[in-house]
C-alpha cells in the first residue's frame, strides 16, 4: 500500500506579496525594512497581502545570500514596567517586519559592572546591529566607550534644551495647561531620577511649561519612578502644602503621591490635584482615576529600529515623526480651591 505523503505548500515569497498587492518587490522590501514615505493605501495593501499569504522572511536564506546576520541585540531594562515593555514591543514588531530577530538582553541599570557584562554578552553573538534602549547615564557611557564591530543606535535620547521644542509640542505642556485652566498657579514636580536623561528632559519640560504659562514652581523632588518615591515625596513636605497641584513624572509615582495625600488628610481633587504621565492600564482605576498623558511608547521602539536599520543598510535615516502626547483628563484634577471666586 502506498502511503500518501502530506502536501507541502511553497512558502510565499516577497515576489508573491508584491504581485498580490500590485506593487514592485522593491516597495515591499522598503516596507519590511520599516522605511517611512510609503503611501498609507500602499502600505495597507502590502500589509494585507503579507497577512493573507502568511509571508515570513527566511532569515537563514537571507543571511546566506547577503553574507550578514539578521539578528539585532536590544539592550533594555525593567521590561515589567509599562514604558520599557511597550518600547520593546514596538521595536520587536519593527524588527520582525523587516526580517530581523530581536535578541533581548536585560540590563541592571544600577550596576555598572552588570551593564558591562551584558554588553560583553551581546558582543559574543553574530549580530547585524545593536540597539540600546535603556536611558541612564551609566548605560550611555558604557555603550559610547565600547568598540562594536556592527552599527549601534543609542536610543537613550539626549539632554534637550527649551529651544528643541515649542511649548505646543512640549511633552508636559498639555498637563500644565490643563492645571492652569483649572486655576492652579503653584505646582510641584515629583521627578524621576536625575541619572536618567528622560527624567531630566521631563523636568525641563515642566520648567519651560511653568514659565510659559505664568505659573510658579514650588519645588522639584527627585524620585525613582516608583510609587514609594511619590509617597515619600509628599511625606517630606510641610503640613501646609506649598502647592495645589502635583505633577508626577509617571503614573506609578502619582499613585504613591495620592495615597500619601489621603493619609495626610488632603482630598484629591477637592483639596489638591495630581497628574501622572504614561497612561498605564491601571491609571483609569486609581482612586480617583488619574489625569495623565498618553505616550506612544511603541512608536518610539519602531523608530529606534528604523534608525538602526538605516545604519545597517548605509542609507539616510527616516525623519522622526512628531509625537504629541494625548491629554487624558480623569478625576484626579479639579479646580484650585484657593482661587479667588
pLDDT tens for 150-167 read 999 998 777 766 555 545
**For the segment 258-281, what is each residue's pLDDT rounded down to a tens digit?**
999 999 999 999 999 999 999 999
Q: Which residues sit opposite 196 in a β-bridge?
A: 136
**What is the average pLDDT score of the chain?**
86
Q: What is the mean pLDDT of residues 4-13?
A: 59
Domains and their CATH numbers in the chain: 14-56 (1.10.260.40), 60-156+297-313 (3.40.50.2300), 162-277 (3.40.50.2300)
pLDDT of residue 238: 94
* Residue 131 vs residues 33, 79, 116, 307: alpha-carbon distances, Å: 15, 15, 15, 9
**For the segment 81-95, what is each residue's pLDDT rounded down to a tens digit?**
788 889 999 999 999
- Collapsing DSSP to helix, strand or coil, 46 comes out as helix
pLDDT of residue 123: 83
Q: Does residue 3 register a pLDDT over 70? A: no
| Number of helical H runs and strand E runs in the chain | 12, 10
**pTM of the full structure:** 0.77
Instruction: Give the rounded percent of residues in the chain with a pLDDT score beyond 90.
Output: 50
* Beta strands 292-294 and 326-328, pairing class: antiparallel
Q: What is the mean pLDDT of residues 2-14?
A: 58
Tell me the CA end-to-end span of the chain in Å, nearest whole number: 95
Task: List, in order, residues 6 or more apart from 215 with CB less than 8 Å away.
Answer: 176, 179, 180, 184, 185, 186, 187, 209
Task: List, in order, residues 6 or more apart from 86 with CB less than 8 Å away.
Answer: 297, 298, 301
**For the segment 104-122, what is each residue's pLDDT rounded down to a tens digit?**
988 888 888 888 888 888 8
pLDDT of residue 6: 44
**Cβ pair 29, 14 in contact under 8 A:** yes
Distance of alpha carbon 39 from alpha carbon 37, whole angstroms: 6
Task: Say which residue the cell 519640560 belongs to.
Answer: 205
Give the orientation angle of helix 40-53 with respect to helix 25-32, to 10 degrees: 90
Q: Does residue 55 register a pLDDT over 50? A: yes
pLDDT of residue 120: 86
**For the segment 241-251, what is each residue's pLDDT rounded down to a tens digit?**
999 999 999 99
pLDDT of residue 331: 97
Q: Does residue 135 register a pLDDT over 80? A: no
Distance of alpha carbon 48 from alpha carbon 52, whole angstroms: 6
Q: Does residue 253 register a pLDDT over 90? A: yes
Q: What is the mean pLDDT of residues 3-23?
A: 72
User: What are the start-end ranges of the E strands in the chain?
Assistant: 71-76, 101-106, 129-132, 152-154, 186-191, 216-222, 245-248, 273-275, 292-294, 326-328
Distance of alpha carbon 37 from alpha carbon 43, whole angstroms: 10
CA dihedral over 73, 74, 78, 81, signed as positive or negative: negative
| Bigger pLDDT: 122 vs 5 | 122
| Bigger pLDDT: 170 vs 274 | 274
pLDDT of residue 158: 73
Task: List, in order, residues 6 or more apart from 61 with CB less than 8 Å away.
Answer: none
Q: Does residue 318 register a pLDDT over 70? A: yes
Q: Does residue 337 register a pLDDT over 70? A: yes
Entry field: residues in the chain: 341
pLDDT of residue 287: 94
Amino acid at each position: 500500500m502506498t502511503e500518501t505523503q502530506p502536501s507541502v505548500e511553497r512558502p510565499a515569497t516577497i515576489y508573491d506579496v508584491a504581485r498580490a498587492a500590485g506593487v514592485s518587490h522593491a516597495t515591499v522590501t522598503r516596507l519590511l525594512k520599516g522605511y517611512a514615505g510609503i503611501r498609507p493605501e500602499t502600505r495597507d495593501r502590502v500589509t494585507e497581502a503579507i497577512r493573507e499569504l502568511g509571508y515570513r522572511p527566511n532569515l537563514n536564506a537571507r543571511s546566506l545570500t547577503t553574507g550578514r546576520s539578521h539578528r539585532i541585540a536590544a539592550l533594555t531594562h525593567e521590561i515589567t514596567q509599562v514604558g520599557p515593555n511597550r518600547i520593546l514591543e514596538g521595536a520587536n514588531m519593527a524588527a520582525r517586519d523587516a526580517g530581523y530577530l530581536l535578541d533581548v538582553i536585560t540590563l541592571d541599570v544600577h550596576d555598572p559592572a552588570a551593564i558591562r557584562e551584558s554588553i560583553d554578552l551581546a558582543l559574543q553573538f553574530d549580530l547585524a546591529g545593536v540597539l540600546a534602549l535603556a536611558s541612564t547615564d551609566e548605560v550611555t557611557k558604557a555603550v559610547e566607550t565600547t568598540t562594536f564591530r556592527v552599527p549601534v543606535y543609542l536610543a537613550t535620547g539626549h539632554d534637550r534644551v527649551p529651544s528643541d521644542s515649542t511649548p505646543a509640542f512640549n511633552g508636559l505642556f498639555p498637563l500644565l495647561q490643563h492645571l492652569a485652566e483649572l486655576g492652579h498657579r503653584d505646582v510641584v514636580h515629583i521627578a524621576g531620577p536625575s541619572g536618567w536623561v528622560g527624567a531630566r528632559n521631563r523636568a525641563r519640560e515642566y520648567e519651560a511649561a511653568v514659565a510659559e504659562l505664568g505659573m510658579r514652581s514650588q519645588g522639584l523632588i527627585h524620585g525613582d519612578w516608583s510609587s514609594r518615591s511619590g509617597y515619600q515625596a509628599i511625606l517630606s513636605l510641610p503640613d501646609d502644602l506649598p502647592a495645589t497641584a502635583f505633577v508626577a513624572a509617571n503614573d506609578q509615582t502619582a499613585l504613591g503621591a495620592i495615597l500619601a495625600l489621603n493619609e495626610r488628610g488632603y482630598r484629591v481633587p477637592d483639596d489638591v490635584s495630581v497628574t501622572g504621565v504614561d497612561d498605564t492600564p491601571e491609571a483609569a482605576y486609581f482612586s480617583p482615576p488619574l489625569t495623565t498623558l498618553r505616550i506612544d511608547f511603541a512608536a518610539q521602539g519602531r523608530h529606534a529600529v528604523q534608525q538602526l536599520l538605516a545604519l545597517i543598510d548605509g542609507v539616510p535615516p527616516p525623519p522622526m515623526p512628531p509625537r504629541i502626547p494625548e491629554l487624558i483628563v480623569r478625576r484626579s484634577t479639579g479646580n484650585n480651591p484657593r482661587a479667588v471666586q
